[in-house]
Amino acid sequence: MEKLGNPQETIAVLQKYKFNFQKKFGQNFLIDTHVLDKIVTSAQVNQEDCVLEIGPGIGTMTQYLAERAGKVIAVEIDKALMPILKDTLQPYDNVRIINNDILKVDIQSLVEEENQGKPIKVVANLPYYITTPIIMGLFESHVPIYSITVMVQKEVADRMQVGPGTKDYGALSLAVQYYAKPEIVANVPPNCFIPRPNVGSAVIRLTRHEIPPVKVADEKLLFRLIRASFNQRRKTLVNGLNNSSELSFGKEEIVMALEEMQLPATIRGEVLTLEQFGLLSDILSDRKK
């Protein structure tokens, strides 16, 4: 079989199997060999690696990964793609295909079973509607991951890497930067996909921090504070935290904590750095005790 990645091959496979795109799965298949090469190169995949691919589609990127990695585990939710993947990946003996929803897969067990618990690399062309739950699920579950290299909507990639005081800065920026170093490695126009999406895309590599850049006493509290700060963006930080159903701090407590940090009570969450959120979390955590 010819390598997938060019439009003619992709169309031939889709026609052979009379495949219908499922909107509910957000399916957009890559048809640009340069972009495919860029993703696999940026992910720094080599023979030592076990790669988890999320949403292989018809196996386009899986072929590229299988040629460079020691092992590829491809998790695909769409049952209709199983016979296609069996066909397109038939030449590769280092690929395991799992028909399941990635959010329901026990990735920790998978890593134990397939890679003796050593860190894996994640590579994916993610459906845009589910990008954040997948990435945050991987980080929050503390699965051993070296890096995540993903194709996402351009504006989501921008949000992951910006700093305080910008309009794109928010809970996602802080959460991603707590766990990893984000770096946009390519911008990808809509004509690189079939069907064409309505928005531009970007490939972003998230290299996992060995130790988070901020050490906090209570990680869960840190993320509750971050979420509450951006839930009502236009409100002051004090009002945002005070109105949150996830938190139980009174206004005075919050104002006192900000005073301790030499910050005004009128400050908004969007200007705080990750370090400042970490300090606020520790001060409030101490008060709770």
Which tens digit of pLDDT belongs to each residue from 182-205? 999 999 999 999 999 999 999 999
Same structural domain, 65 and 200 = yes
Among residues 174, 208, 242, the one where a domain terminates is: 208
Same structural domain, 155 and 225 = no
Among residues 178, 208, 238, the one where a domain terminates is: 208
Same structural domain, 16 and 149 = yes
Confidence at residue 126, expressed as pLDDT on a 0 to 100 scale:
87
DSSP string over the chain? -PPS-SHHHHHHHHHHTT----GGGT--EE--HHHHHHHHHHTT--TT-EEEEE--TTTHHHHHHHHHSSEEEEEE--GGGHHHHHHHTTT-SSEEEEES-GGGS-HHHHHHHHHTT--EEEEEE--GGGHHHHHHHHHHTT--EEEEEEEEEHHHHHHHH--TTSTT-SHHHHHHHHHEEEEEEEEE-GGGEESPPSS-EEEEEEEEPSS-SS--S-HHHHHHHHHHHHHTTTS-HHHHHHH-TT----HHHHHHHHHHTT--TT--GGG--HHHHHHHHHHHHHHH-
Residue pLDDT, tens place only, 75-89? 999 999 999 999 999
Same structural domain, 101 and 165 = yes
* CATH code assigned at 177: 3.40.50.150
Same structural domain, 240 and 98 = no
Q: What total of structural domains would you count in the chain?
A: 2
Tell whether 2 is covered by a domain. Answer: no
Confidence at residue 1, expressed as pLDDT on a 0 to 100 scale:
56
* Mean per-residue pLDDT of the chain: 95
Tell whether 1 is covered by a domain. Answer: no
Same structural domain, 182 and 155 = yes
Tell whether 45 is covered by a domain. Answer: yes
Tell whether 166 is covered by a domain. Answer: yes
Range of the domain at 271: 219-288
Same structural domain, 190 and 225 = no
* CATH code assigned at 277: 1.10.8.100
Name the stretches of the chain with pLDDT < 50: none
Same structural domain, 223 and 201 = no
